[in-house]
Amino acid sequence: MIRCFVAVELDDPLRRALADVQHRMRGRIEKALGPDSRVQWVRPESVHVTLKFLGDVEESRISDLEAALRRVAAAHFVGVVEVAGLGVFPDTRNPRVLWVGLREGSALIVRLAEAVDQAMSEAGFPPESRPFSPHLTLARIKQGGRAVGRALESQGLLTESPVLGRLPVGALALMQSDLRPSGAAYTRLAEFVLKAED
């Protein structure tokens, strides 16, 4: 079995911009809460736009998934999405995930996520029950969400709207996730290039 998901990967300039934002936010959250705050920052090299989490997949099914994703990619044009703004899931009263948003051009990501969900549903995976919310996860809050939420508000972090850069969307990636004590490690199994603009 291979633990899989479908994603759009980030380029190096955007990963560096994410690292800068994380560094600044970490300093301000620790200033408010102390260094023992239970915020788990995602390594910038591990950040991606998850379009669909598939879970454990039999290795014999991978080639069928690749064929389906190749068809999805062939039906969508490349594009660029602005990466900007900060937010949390589910809310500031008790946040569990701290994220940066995808703004101008994000309709492309939404269309891709919907097409991937449809293709994977036809391949036997359960369809998503919630609408897709395009974002990049910066951190997960394991404990003390209320205190972190208060810190985010007192530091004015969520009222800021930093523009981190632009995300080129040129391909879908079928990714493997290996769970390790140090955190998940990701490997690209295959890439599916989107159509070039005419």
Q: How confident is the model at residue 100 (pLDDT cuts 50, 70, 90)?
A: very high
Q: What is the pLDDT at residue 79?
A: 95
Q: Is pLDDT of 160 > 80?
A: no
> Looking at residue 7, what DSSP letter applies?
E
Q: What is the pLDDT at residue 180?
A: 78
Single out the catalytic residue among 4, 15, 48, 113: 48
Residues 6 or more apart from 81 whose CB is under 8 A from it?
102, 103, 104, 105, 106, 108, 109, 134, 166, 167, 169
Angle, CA 103 vertex, CA 108 and CA 27 arms, to 5°: 135
Residue 23 bears catalytic tag? no
Query: Distance (Å, rounded) from C-alpha 137 to C-alpha 145?
Result: 16
Q: What is the pLDDT at residue 50?
A: 95
Angle, CA 5 vertex, CA 21 and CA 1 arms, to 5°: 135
Single out the catalytic residue among 6, 42, 49, 135: 135
Q: Is pLDDT of 48 > 90?
A: yes
| Burial (CB count within 10 angstroms: exposed 0-12, middle 13-18, buried 19+), residue 93 | exposed
Q: Is pLDDT of 151 > 90?
A: no
Using the Cα atoms of residue 142, residue 17, residue 105 and residue 71 in order, give the sign of their dihedral.
Answer: negative
Q: What is the pLDDT at residue 161?
A: 77
**pLDDT by residue (tens digit) across 65-84?**
999 999 999 999 999 999 99
Q: Is pLDDT of 197 > 70?
A: yes
Q: Give the sheet arrangement for strand 135-141, strand by strand.
A: 39-41, 135-141, 97-102, 79-89, 163-169
* Least confident interval from 57-61, 145-149, 189-193: 145-149
Q: Can you read off the two tokens belonging to residue 137?
A: 């996860």
Structural domain spans, the chain:
2-193
**pLDDT by residue (tens digit) across 15-43?**
999 999 999 888 888 887 776 677 889 99
Other CB atoms closer than 10 Å to residue 99's CB: what's the count? 20
Q: Is pLDDT of 198 > 70?
A: no
**pLDDT by residue (tens digit) across 173-183?**
999 999 877 77
The CATH number of 2-193, from 3.90.1140.10, 3.40.50.300, 3.20.20.80, 3.40.50.2300, is: 3.90.1140.10
Residue 76 bears catalytic tag? no
Give the orientation angle of helix 145-154 with respect to helix 12-33, to 10 degrees. 100
Q: How confident is the model at residue 149 (pLDDT cuts 50, 70, 90)?
A: confident
| Cis ω for the linkage preceding 90 (within 30 of 0) | yes
Q: How confident is the model at residue 146 (pLDDT cuts 50, 70, 90)?
A: confident
Query: Is the full-model pTM beyond 0.85?
Result: yes
